[in-house]
Structure 1
């Protein structure tokens, strides 16, 4: 059964939270990043990119130590404060008619090791070690892992209850995302939340596999040492727990630089072995069901339907459209053998980039582009339950979380 705990978060003061919290820094365009750092002294980006203060880019352990220093300065200057008692944090994010909500708390590394918390992606050991060392040196975790759980009546009742009350935080970002957050610190309610999660046999990582694996790396390192406080703190990692029904999964476009030496007609003939092909001209096509794909090639959109006679799944992974695309097109026809590292393939989230499937091919940047039907929550869970790993960029999962909203200190 799952162990989920409340904690004493370090978080921005109410008057500065809109100025402090950020998207992941690697999402920002270079000019936007520089403007924020120049104009907003309260931005959490000053902590994540500490060299800006000295007009210098720093890397490795030196950067990690400077991140730690900037964080301490934010606390000393009263930008961040520590909560007095362990709490859960109920958060809601809304935009364009989409409303997401979840509960921020601590997940257990032992649950991760014992497969109570299940994963559906492979991780790279080098990145695990890099971010694990980052956590150790900086001493804090500021971006929760997104974990999904089966809908639960009591947990769902919390958002209905607290929406009627004043939130601790209420702010809207310049991207028109509105955030609300409430503290759940009443002893009886905290106990019921812990018990609700404790009744669940499994939880599933939706987004943040490398962050989880890095916390596991740190835990294993601390367990081998003599610092009892560090051992205890590293047993847990911060997570945002979201009900399955509230999770939104969309897909990624896939673009390939070349046709692997084939002419257009040769490529279409090769596809014909596995797919029914329909040219729909200039009209954008979005797949409407599993095993249907969109393709843009040489000025035209195509519908690709997997031939039932060609579809011979050997395991649960083979039912995923991202795996079908890899197994029947990317690898055998286009020569993409390592979709994680091959420089000839490029991924782009479909959400917000619908016109890019046509534009990036017409511009000459790529020879062909593909769209997939999104993975379902049930497919994600089935892959995880069978200890399998999805191909890279099989799912684009929302909500995306902000850094610096709540912080879990590791030292």
Structure 2
């Protein structure tokens, strides 16, 4: 059974929330972070990508992490961020087009992560782990959110939704796409206790996004424990928690720089020995998903490929539907095309392979291939949320970049300090 904990958040004063909140650190480059800071001098990007304020400095140098801490403290000293005097949980609501996503921010237990009550579905990379470990330890704070999911019995989400107060949120911010992010603080001890009791009956939580932030928080707890400076807050990390049926998953597109030993004609000839191939024709490239040409009565892999100016649909029967990982489209694409044909055996490191988030329009793939920067692109259908949870339950991991979860959250609206 999992534990959740209210905490005394550091957060923007209401009138500054829109100026401070920023996209997460891992979706922008240093140069893009610098541009954001130039437009919004008080952006939280100063904390999560502090190297953007230090021209010419190695992003892994101690100065970067020290500056992140100084920039965080500066926002507090200026009165732009304040800390709540009593613990609370924080309802996080996102209005995106016609969709409304609602979760809540609380702390969760490092012990639950270690005991696998907080389940994972992907591997972490050491370099990213090391970076966030240093960042959390030096700033003494969780500055980014881990996104967790729970299986809802049917009553939990309804209860959380009932907690949304009428009136003005405690924070409102809009991202570059016009998506509205709202935060509501809940501090009634009776409600906090009831929510904790509800989650004591939840068997597991599942990481949807933020594997590196979660593992880095665990690393910091272990480091502080070994150094004799452990606190109760260091043994917890901040997360936003959603019902599993209240999020969306998109596919994650692949781009490959070259065709290896093939040219477009021979590449296509080899593809046809592995898949049934049909030319797709015109597509709406303003959307981010290509619908299959037809529905099949048996499980079918369906992958869309852009090669030499044309879109194609690749299909093949799923050989073993009971094997959740092998039955994923991304798995057959990796084995049949990336490994066997192109020699890309490590999709986590190979520089020939690049990824594009699933909520990006298909035009982004087309432009990159047409420019000559890439030779071929693949667009994948979304994985079902239940498949992700099943993989985690089995103790397995998904292939890299299998899932693009929505909603995407902002950083800087709520911060958890470790002391």
Range of TM-score over shorter length: over 0.9
Of 164, 170, 179, which aligns to 1:168? 170
1:305 CA drift (Å): 0.8
| Residue equivalent to 2:242 | 242
Where structure 1 has 5 or more consecutive residues not aligned to the other structure, the ranges are: none
Where structure 2 has 5 or more consecutive residues not aligned to the other structure, the ranges are: none
**Bigger shift: residues 25-34 or 393-402:** 25-34
Does 1:150 find its partner at 2:155?
A: no
How far apart in 1 are the matches of 2:94 and 2:396? 31
| Residue equivalent to 1:304 | 314
User: Per the alignment, do residues 54 and 282 of structure 1 end up closer, same or farther by CA in structure 2, a change over 3 Å counting?
Assistant: closer
Q: What per-residue deviation string (whole Å, max 9, x for no partner) do you get for residues 165-201 of structure 1?
A: 4322234344312122111111111011111111111
| Residue equivalent to 2:66 | 65
Written as runs of structure 1 = structure 2, the 5 A alignment for 1:285-324 is 286-288=290-292, 291-307=301-317, 311-312=319-320, 315-324=323-332
Does 1:204 find its partner at 2:214?
A: no
SS in 2 for 1:234: helix
| Residue equivalent to 1:103 | 104
Contact 1:6 1:87 in 2 (8 A): yes
Contact 1:147 1:239 in 2 (8 A): yes
How far apart in 2 are the matches of 1:109 and 1:98? 32
1:55 CA drift (Å): 5.6
SS in 1 for 2:136: helix
Q: What per-residue deviation string (whole Å, max 9, x for no partner) do you get for residues 135-169 of structure 1?
A: 11111111110001112514423324425343222
- RMSD, matched Cα: 2.2
SS in 2 for 1:148: strand
User: Per the alignment, do residues 38 and 316 of structure 1 end up closer, same or farther by CA in structure 2, a change over 3 Å counting?
Assistant: closer
| Residue equivalent to 2:119 | 118
User: Per the alignment, do residues 174 and 323 of structure 1 end up closer, same or farther by CA in structure 2, a change over 3 Å counting?
Assistant: closer
Written as runs of structure 1 = structure 2, the 5 A alignment for 1:12-411 is 12-28=12-28, 33-50=33-50, 57=57, 59=59, 60-151=61-152, 152-162=154-164, 164-229=166-231, 232-283=232-283, 286-288=290-292, 291-307=301-317, 311-312=319-320, 315-411=323-419
How far apart in 1 are the matches of 2:13 and 2:266? 62
How far apart in 1 are the matches of 2:283 and 2:230? 63
User: Per the alignment, do residues 362 and 105 of structure 1 end up closer, same or farther by CA in structure 2, a change over 3 Å counting?
Assistant: same
**Bigger shift: residues 40-49 or 397-406:** 40-49
Q: What per-residue deviation string (whole Å, max 9, x for no partner) do you get for residues 100-135 of structure 1?
A: 111000011111111101000001234323321221
How far apart in 2 are the matches of 1:300 and 1:209? 36
1:333 CA drift (Å): 1.1
1:379 CA drift (Å): 0.7
Contact 1:287 1:294 in 2 (8 A): no
How far apart in 2 are the matches of 1:85 and 1:141? 18
User: Per the alignment, do residues 24 and 170 of structure 1 end up closer, same or farther by CA in structure 2, a change over 3 Å counting?
Assistant: closer
**Bigger shift: residues 85-94 or 312-321:** 312-321
Contact 2:171 2:413 in 1 (8 A): no
1:227 CA drift (Å): 1.9
SS in 2 for 1:323: helix
Contact 2:320 2:327 in 1 (8 A): no
How far apart in 2 are the matches of 1:249 and 1:184? 29
SS in 2 for 1:329: helix
Contact 2:150 2:205 in 1 (8 A): yes
TM-score, length of structure 2 as denominator length? 0.91
User: Per the alignment, do residues 9 and 161 of structure 1 end up closer, same or farther by CA in structure 2, a change over 3 Å counting?
Assistant: closer
SS in 2 for 1:239: strand
> How many residues are treated as equivalent by the alignment?
407
Q: What per-residue deviation string (whole Å, max 9, x for no partner) do you get for residues 265-308 of structure 1?
A: 33233223331111223446814475111111112111111145
1:233 CA drift (Å): 2.1
TM-score, length of structure 1 as denominator length? 0.92
How far apart in 2 are the matches of 1:368 and 1:253? 11
How far apart in 1 are the matches of 2:267 and 2:182? 51
